[in-house]
Amino acid sequence: MHKSHSFYEEALIDAIHEPTQLKSVRLISAGTMNQSVLLDTDKGALFLKSNHLNSPDMFQQELKGLTLLHKHAPLQIPKTIGAGRIASQNYLLIEWIHGGYPNSDYWNNLGHGLAELHMATSPKYGLSEDNYIAILPQRNAMNENWADFFASERLEPMIGKAYYDGLISKDFYKKFQMIYDKLDGLIPNEKPALLHGDLWSGNVIVNPKGDPCLIDPAVYYGHREMDLAFSKLFGGFRSEFYEAYNEIFPLEPDFKTRVDIHNLYPLLVHLNLFGLSYLPGIKKVIKKFV
């Protein structure tokens, strides 16, 4: 363990506000960004995620995102317990979801559930507060136009960071920006939809009943095709999922032709987080549309 039990005990007191007995701690993962552990307590099994990053509101924003999903999604969302900062460590404490195996309705339920989530709407794209995608700041200044929001709050901050950090040349930065004026003509106009925001297979887990459960959101009101496109980026979603989604909330024609446009955002996120291996995919999309 990289942390003494005292940190976990402090987090339990800070989040629950009453004495809680910590029986044992089991490491789940210890990545470059976060450490995750299973806490066995007298109040049941709890999941605690922590890091030392200088972003004290990171997990509070994730907690708010989970709460918003829980309000609008028919799918299981882990119950939130608390989030905060103890000394130099941020933490998030939520319900532990015991794993299971997908049941026969798993992909249908996920498709139907996501479609119902996307029916939650807002007058504008964005969110009342900025939040994070992974450990990167995600701007959410509200806008009535999706193309403008996508360009100013999603693409430009990420391509700008890549340029500032020396990951791309000035020439490519300027070429990339040429796509902004094309977005309105490429993406159909729709009402803002409540998005999970980071919908890849690793952020959908199976509960003990075999049903899907959503975790690690980066919520905002956006174009619903963003979630569907992101689900295709790293695989893991079966065709039944998309068929079930379309039964409830049919996509506009030619969605497949727009997937690459939407996925510029998660590709830029991965470029900034993990490096140059994601740049060729971005350049390929820009070459296709610019």
Catalytic residues: 198
Q: Cα–Cα distances in Å, from 168 out to 152, 175, 222?
A: 19, 11, 27
SS3 16: helix
Q: 104 and 212 in contact (C-beta within 8 Å)?
A: no
Strand partners, 220: 195
Give the ranges where the chain is alpha helix by DSSP (H): 5-16, 58-72, 106-118, 146-149, 156-164, 170-177, 183-186, 225-233, 239-248, 255-262, 264-274, 279-289
Closest CA to 150 of 117, 123, 129, 126: 126
Q: 58 and 49 in contact (C-beta within 8 Å)?
A: no
CA distance 236 to 109: 15
The DSSP call for residue 188 is -
Strand partners, 49: 36, 92
